[in-house]
Amino acid sequence: MNLEIFIMNGYGIYVWSSFAFTFFICLFLYLKTKKTLKKLEKDFVKEAQNLPEKQFEDVKRQKIAKEILISQSRS
């Protein structure tokens, strides 16, 4: 295997460390956003269940609310 591809005339350490740093930052942001979204969905479901029956039926008709309520009932 030709290591010159990874060494890149001495600049490989900077290129690969920048690539790894960027990858891990994006992974961290993705996981943090996913965790926050799940928390907000749970809070929404809790709040929707505390609504009076008439308002709850109105909320269930909305597309986004319907998707959240369906996804929460699966888990």
Domain ranges of the chain: 4-74
Q: How confident is the model at residue 75 (pLDDT cuts 50, 70, 90)?
A: low
Give yes or no for residue 73 having a pLDDT over 80.
no
Asked whether the predicted pLDDT for residue 59 surpasses 80, the reply is: no
- State the Rg of the chain over Cα: 23
b/e sequence 6-32, b meaning 16+ C-beta within 10 Å: eeeeeeeeeeeeeeeeeeeeeeeeeee
Distance CA 49, CA 41 (A): 12
Tell me the pLDDT of the chain averaged across its residues.
Answer: 87
Distances, alpha carbon 33 to alpha carbons 4, 49, 51, in Å: 38, 24, 27
CA distance 35 to 66: 20
